[in-house]
């Protein structure tokens, strides 16, 4: 897609140029809507569908990263010579990502037949992808030297976020230890605030120190005390976390059931039942009135409604006998003799 123009750039455009720019933008938009231009999550540009590998696992039918970006992800860049250099581990991750089988034998063959030491990543990905599609092969069919399978190419790789969390100065093995501990602590405990994350980082660093000291035969008692203080401050000690973990693992519905079973709400005393009369108000003026209005069979709600409404009814007075009626008429209008 085109980058948006500034106000100054727009002002410099002639009407014909504005129409041309608009037509070009409409054309690009039409291609996107018709899947003639696909967005690459790697380079952030729209490219022809031919630039992407097919993927039956995705709704769009295409892998979201173009072939050029995948080739870059599978290689190292030599700045001095300005060329791409093959990196087997990176190539493995790309193969795993797009779910095609990797073969060390094929990798060696591509390298041996490469011209002028050029990278073979793109050619190998393209050809293996086509072969895997035709033969219905996946990453699970990979064959490695000395093994028939590989669980996950990301294992043994330090993530960038771990280096950022713990900073510099650690070896690769140290980072892997910290990464494993950090992920485990965050997955199995409730860490929701920045302060708790800081404590978890310190706990992981202390565990690394304890592990190193034990392997070196050094005393770890002081480190264990420090670890205990950190866990206590983060509310992550076993005695603190048992109750929390048991409760945190329950759904809201299970929590309500737990509370009802352990500490059920008792029936309130008579003096505290509907103190403000809101319950009776709803029964009479909503439920009772609605039941009456709908002509439903008489029930406890209609009875309570009728009893309450009777307080506000105006009933016509009835009289017995003509004499009483005449007497009242005379009192009001007179008896006709001027009296």
Q: Look at residue 159 and give its three-state secondary structure.
A: coil
Following CA atoms 53, 126, 99, 140 in sequence, which dihedral angle do they give, to the nearest 10 degrees? Answer: 150
Query: How high is the mean pLDDT of the chain?
Result: 77
Residue-wise pLDDT for 3-22, tens only, equals: 566 667 766 777 777 677 76
Between CA 258 and CA 278 the distance in angstroms is 29
- By percentage, how much of the chain surpasses pLDDT 70? 73
Residue-wise pLDDT for 313-337, tens only, equals: 877 666 555 555 666 667 776 665 5
CB of 210 closer than 8 Å to CB of 174: no
CB neighbours of 115 closer than 8 A, spacing ≥ 6? none
Query: Pairing relation of β-strands 75-78 and 46-47?
Result: unpaired
CB of 78 closer than 8 Å to CB of 53: no
pLDDT at residue 146 in the model: 54
Pick the closest to residue 128 from 139, 117, 112, 114 (CA basis). Answer: 139
CB of 144 closer than 8 Å to CB of 150: yes
Q: Look at residue 117 and give its three-state secondary structure.
A: coil
Least confident of 76-85, 162-171, 230-239, 298-307: 230-239
Pick the closest to residue 187 from 234, 249, 269 (CA basis). Answer: 249
- The residues facing 39 across adjacent strands are 46
Maximum pairwise Cα distance, the chain: 140
Q: Say how far residue 309 (Cα) sits from the centre of its chain.
A: 54
**Backbone φ/ψ region at 117: left (φ over 0), alpha (ψ -120 to 50), beta:** left
Q: Kindly tell me if the per-residue pLDDT of 154 is higher than 50.
A: no
């Amino acid at each position: 897609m085109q980058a948006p123009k500034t106000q100054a750039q727009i002002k410099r455009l002639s009407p014909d140029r504005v129409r041309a720019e608009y037509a070009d933008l409409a054309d690009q938009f039409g291609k996107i809507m018709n899947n003639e231009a696909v967005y690459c999550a790697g380079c952030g540009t729209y490219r022809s569908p031919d630039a992407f590998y097919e993927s039956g696992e995705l709704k769009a039918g295409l892998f979201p990263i173009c072939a050029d970006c995948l080739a870059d992800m599978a290689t190292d860049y030599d700045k001095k010579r300005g060329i791409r250099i093959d990196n087997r581990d990176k190539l493995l991750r790309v193969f795993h990502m797009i779910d095609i089988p990797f073969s060390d034998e094929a990798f060696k063959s591509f390298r041996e037949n490469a011209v002028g030491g050029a990278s073979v990543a793109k050619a190998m990905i393209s050809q293996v992808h086509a072969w895997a599609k035709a033969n219905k092969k996946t990453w699970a069919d990979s064959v490695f030297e000395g093994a028939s399978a590989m669980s996950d190419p990301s294992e043994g790789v330090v993530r960038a976020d771990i280096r950022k969390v713990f900073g510099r100065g650690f070896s690769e093995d140290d980072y892997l230890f910290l990464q494993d501990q950090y992920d485990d602590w965050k997955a199995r405990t409730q860490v929701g605030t920045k302060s708790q994350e800081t404590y978890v980082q310190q706990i992981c660093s202390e565990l690394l120190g304890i592990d190193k000291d034990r392997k070196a035969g050094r005393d770890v008692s002081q480190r264990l005390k420090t670890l205990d203080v950190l866990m206590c401050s983060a509310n992550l000690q076993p005695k603190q976390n048992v109750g929390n973990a048991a409760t945190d693992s329950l759904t809201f519905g299970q929590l309500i059931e737990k509370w009802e079973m352990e500490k059920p709400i008792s029936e309130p005393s008579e003096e505290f039942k509907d103190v403000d009369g809101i319950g009776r108000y709803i029964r009479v003026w909503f439920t009772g009135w609605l039941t009456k209005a709908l002509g439903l069979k008489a029930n406890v709600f209609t009875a309570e409604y009728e009893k309450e409404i009777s307080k506000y009814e105006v009933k016509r007075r009835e009289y017995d006998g003509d004499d009483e009626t005449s007497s009242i008429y005379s009192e009001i209008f007179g008896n006709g003799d001027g009296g």
